[in-house]
A and B are shown apart, each in its own frame.
Chain A
Amino acid sequence: MTQEREVTLYGKLADPLGALVRVCGGESAETVREVRDRVAALEPRLSELLADPRVRACTDGTITADGAIVQPGRAVEFIPVVSGG
């Protein structure tokens, strides 16, 4: 059965489609890279933004490598370059 995966986008990544998007593939384990590709396929500008190697993924409050496995149903967040001060 198909299940969507929830993906939260921060900063400028939220400009094209908003902060919360849903992609297919949530019913199975897949890599962060695969989730990134699914999100990128949603919109050309978002694809450009996610291609920036400085964009990091976060799962369960922890920065996660692109090769890490995301378990079924778990949400993923993508985080662009940060800047405070």
Chain B
Amino acid sequence: MIRAIVLEEALDPGKELAVLTANAAGAGGLVNFVGLAREEGGRVAELVLEHHPVLTQRSLDEIAGAAVERFAVTAVSVVHRVGSIQPDEPIVFAGAAARHRREAFLAADYLMDMLKTRAVFWKREEGSDGTRWIEPRNEDLSDAARWHGSKKKEITR
């Protein structure tokens, strides 16, 4: 299963985990990550995620598809919110199922690194200090760069 969803309503991580589990037949385990909107000490009242009508879905499809190509996984799921998100609400669900745990951990890690730097979203914080656009941090870029040029077998050894 490759699941890549741009979601306009509330994200239910429990439901997404159930979907992934139901599609993980034959897998030995699954790993999932849930990203939450931070309140940053009360400074952020709202996180707004904008998206592109074509490129955003395509980017999620490509990221999820690349994870399947790169790792020995049986299922991958990426579900990403758009619109207005309140602090502590889920923004993203990224999960992978695999016969062996290492591949599932690697795939989930890869998915998040790619989502942070390649997925076509624009994020802005609205709060007491006004509006602030969020761009990938240097750490996000260096995390994503770890995967450049590395082939599946090199990573999974």
Contact = CB atoms under 8 A, between A and B. Distances in A.
Interface of A: 10-12, 15, 58, 61, 63, 77, 79-85
Contacts, number: 59
Interface string B53-71: 0110011000000000000
A80 B115 contact: no
Interface residues of B, number: 28
Given A11-B133, A12-B133, A83 B54 contact: no
A52 to B, nearest CB: 10
Interface of B: 35, 49-50, 52, 54-55, 58-59, 80, 91-92, 112, 115-124, 131, 133-136, 140
B91 A58 contact: no
A61 B57 CA distance: 11
Contacts of A80: 122
B55 A79 contact: yes
B92 A82 contact: no
B120 A79 contact: yes
B116 A84 contact: yes
11 contacts: A12-B133, A63-B55, A77-B52, A79-B52, A81-B136, A82-B122, A83-B117, A84-B115, A84-B116, A84-B118, A85-B91
Contact of B92 (A12, A77, A84): A84
Given A11-B50, A12-B133, A85 B35 contact: yes
Nearest to B53: A61
Given A83-B123, A84-B118, A85-B116, 10 more contacts: A12-B124, A81-B136, A83-B121, A83-B134, A83-B140, A84-B92, A84-B115, A84-B123, A85-B92, A85-B115
